[in-house]
Structure 1
Amino acid sequence: MKLRVLLTVLFTCSSCFLFSQEDVEKPAPPAGNAVIGDFYGQDVSDDAIDRAVSVNQLEDALKKSSKIESVAVKGEVTDVCEKRGCWITVKSDDNSSFFVKMKDYAFFVPTALKGKNVVLEGKAERKITSVEELKHYAKDAKKTKSEIDAITKPKEEIRFMATGIKVTN
């Protein structure tokens, strides 16, 4: 009898624990004002800032090679994932832009990074992004249902995997 009661208690406790884990929400983006000098992930060196290329130069380089393993790029952040701060988009002066994810989800950025100038370090490549993935990111960006439904084709684009992001002037 004691064994049956003990097993029932153990089963009930373990069930409660397992089912309670499903409703755990992912953390919000980190707090912060993203002021000049702040960095996320690995700090971006002054040397990397000095050699950083524009988005246009990155696009030109990716026409010659589909992947660049180590590059520093400068631009303005135009969008930040509002759910976790796990991705951003960056544009240059001529409004060309690209999508940036954080390597291994090792760091996140505050939503205050939107509108700030940054230098990113990491790797870049040309990639075809599926409709499903594009819709996922549109939902993260809180696009309207009609904007999400309008996504019907995969998109060839530059994808950047950042190891570090630094706010610059």
Structure 2
Amino acid sequence: MRYLILILVAVACSTPTEKFAPYGEEISSEEALSTTAFLTEVSEEETTFKVRGTIEEVCQMKGCWMTLKNEQGANVRVTFKDYGFFVPKDISGREVIIEGVAMQEVLEEDVARHYAEDGGKEYDESMRNSITFVARGVLVKES
């Protein structure tokens, strides 16, 4: 009886594990930077990162890119390695963990216009300043 009580207490006190839907290569959910911390570390040099954030927008054509919300107003555009996978188009607002390489860059005008069109927005010159993140794997938190 004592063991049964201990088991019940342990189960009741345990933290529920988060559930994620995986896309692309297998990645873990551990040790991801916040979007804010990521933005302080990303530079013009391509560097590997694992980031946890919230999806702001997803390409409504195919799910071939997404953007991450952040308080700094930075344009963080996530694409997927070798165009090898896509994410669902209806996951805006969901938490996500991404792993891959990122860098600050100035996009060509035609690329920035294309992204604006895919997102249903009017092009603005400031859209050329971007943080490009090429994810090899993505975990989307299940609701």
Letter in 1 for 2:20: G
Q: Look up the match of 1:30.
A: none
> Larger C-alpha radius of gyration, 1 or 2?
1
TM-score, normalising length: structure 2: 0.77
Q: Which runs of 4+ in 1 moved over 4 A?
A: none
Q: What residue number does 1:61 align with?
A: 41
Gaps of 5+ in 2: 1-18
1:100 aligns with 2:78: yes
Q: More helix by proportion, 1 or 2? A: 1
Aligned to 1:17: none
Measured after TM superposition, the shift of residue 153 of structure 1 is 5.5
Residue 165 of structure 1 pairs with residue 138 of structure 2:
yes
Partner residue in 2 for 1:40: 23
Which range is displaced more, 100-109 or 123-132? 123-132
Task: Normalising by structure 1, report the TM-score.
Answer: 0.66
Q: Taking structure 1 as reference, are residues 131 and 153 closer, same or farther at Cα in structure 2, changes over 3 Å only?
A: farther
State the distance in 2 between where 1:86 and 1:158 align: 16
* Structure 1 spans left out of the alignment, 5+ residues: 1-35
Cα distance in 2 between the residues matched to 1:58 and 1:67: 13
Higher strand share: 2
Find out whether 1:85 has 2:71 as its counterpart: no
Query: For the aligned residues, what is the CA RMSD?
Result: 2.1
